[in-house]
Amino acid sequence: MMKKSFMVFAIISLFGILHIGILHAKSYWGQSNSYYKPNFYGQNSYQNSYYDDQYNAQADYDSAYNLYKRGNLEAALPIFARLCEQDNYIACLSAGIVQGKLLDSLDSDKRFSRSERKRKKAEYYNAMMAFYTKACNGGNYDACNNLAFYEHSTKAEREKEKKEEENARIENNRAMELYAKSCKAGNKEACQNLGVIYSGNLEDKNGQSTNLMQAQNYYGRSCNMGDNVACFNLGVLRYNYAKTTSDYAQAIHYFNQACGGDYPAACLNLGIIYERGVTQDVNEDVANAMQYYTKACYLQNADACTYLAKLANKRKKMQ
């Protein structure tokens, strides 16, 4: 529910340039103090653990290596990363390699939207480069080679992305100016579109409060002008970012407005909310949930029909 990246002139395979194999040899551990002293790197995204002796560190490296060989990259990465935090530069190199493979896999990962994939690519690239940088600074020259390759080979792409982002920002600002002018003149679609733009910026934690306030403001204007989609979107924001009982009550109010205008998703959400419980009377809540599911189903919302059938069956068993 609601809570509900200079071209490479020579035609050479990437694998022919990078040291992409993870080393599996005990002789790489060297002196124990090269990895015992904790040295946190970057954002310390991975859970830290301390190692009392060489055996434990080697055992963990072996464990991560075996996971890597089996293709379980997501399980291998945090182990290599923890060892890297202990200044083990072979582990830093290995973490960079694994992170790079995860970066490459994003293009075929259907779990993420285009915007999410772009954000994760930047996140994974930065993490990979951080691992290689630490390994290189620690004297691992395979890591220096990989670091140089990525900095060189992705330069044009990074510059292109930076330019595209700047152009998009300029175009976005221009669009917002025009939408604001149209909204002020009473165009409900323009107000709704401004709400959508501000809602799309809610992942920015630094500006979340301002974006939320502006999104609610413009959805509210459009809703007051009779736009059922805006009423629904305002209900979603009120519910998802609720801090008080009053916020939940307002969410129900705006969902009711949209449902009254035959917007099926709003009716569905009301059914879910009431099924979870709104009043102190269970029978009343169930009756309201059935009513909203029925309307949403009538308006051809397939999910509502499924919820309706399940609730009806549950209700029958309770009688």
Instruction: Output 19 or 144, whichever has higher pLDDT.
Output: 144
SS3 label, residue 300? coil
* pLDDT the model gives residue 266: 95
Please give the average per-residue pLDDT across 294-318, as a whole number.
92
What's the pLDDT tens digit per position in 67-77? Answer: 999 999 999 99
Cα–Cα distance measured from residue 198 to residue 136, given in angstroms and rounded to the nearest whole number: 41
Asked whether residue 48 carries a pLDDT value surpassing 50, the answer given is: no
Closest of 122, 145, 149, 125 to residue 135, by C-alpha = 145
Residue 297, classified by CB atoms within 10 Å of its CB into exposed (0-12), middle (13-18) or buried (19+), is: buried
* pLDDT the model gives residue 129: 93
Contact 305, 294 (CB under 8 A): no
Q: How confident is the model at residue 18 (pLDDT cuts 50, 70, 90)?
A: very low
Residue 176, classified by CB atoms within 10 Å of its CB into exposed (0-12), middle (13-18) or buried (19+), is: middle
Asked whether residue 203 carries a pLDDT value surpassing 80, the answer given is: no
* CA–centroid distance for 173 within its chain: 24
Which residue reads 């107000």 in tokens?
191
Kindly report the pTM of this predicted structure: 0.55
Q: How confident is the model at residue 53 (pLDDT cuts 50, 70, 90)?
A: very low
Residue 106, classified by CB atoms within 10 Å of its CB into exposed (0-12), middle (13-18) or buried (19+), is: middle
Letter string b/e over residues 137-157, b meaning 16 or more CB atoms within 10 A of that residue's CB: ebebebbbebbebbeebeeee
* CA–centroid distance for 78 within its chain: 19
> Of the given ranges (45-49, 101-105, 194-198, 221-225), which has the lowest mean pLDDT?
45-49
Q: What average pLDDT does the structure give for the chain?
A: 80
Instruction: Output 114 or 319, whichever has higher pLDDT.
Output: 114
List the chain domain ranges: 16-153
Closest of 268, 264, 180, 265 to residue 222, by C-alpha = 180
What's the pLDDT tens digit per position in 235-287? Answer: 999 999 988 989 999 999 999 999 999 999 999 999 999 999 998 898 899 99
* pLDDT the model gives residue 192: 93
**Which DSSP category does 5 fall into?**
-
CA distances, 276 to each of 93, 271, 272 (Å): 49, 9, 6
* pLDDT the model gives residue 107: 83
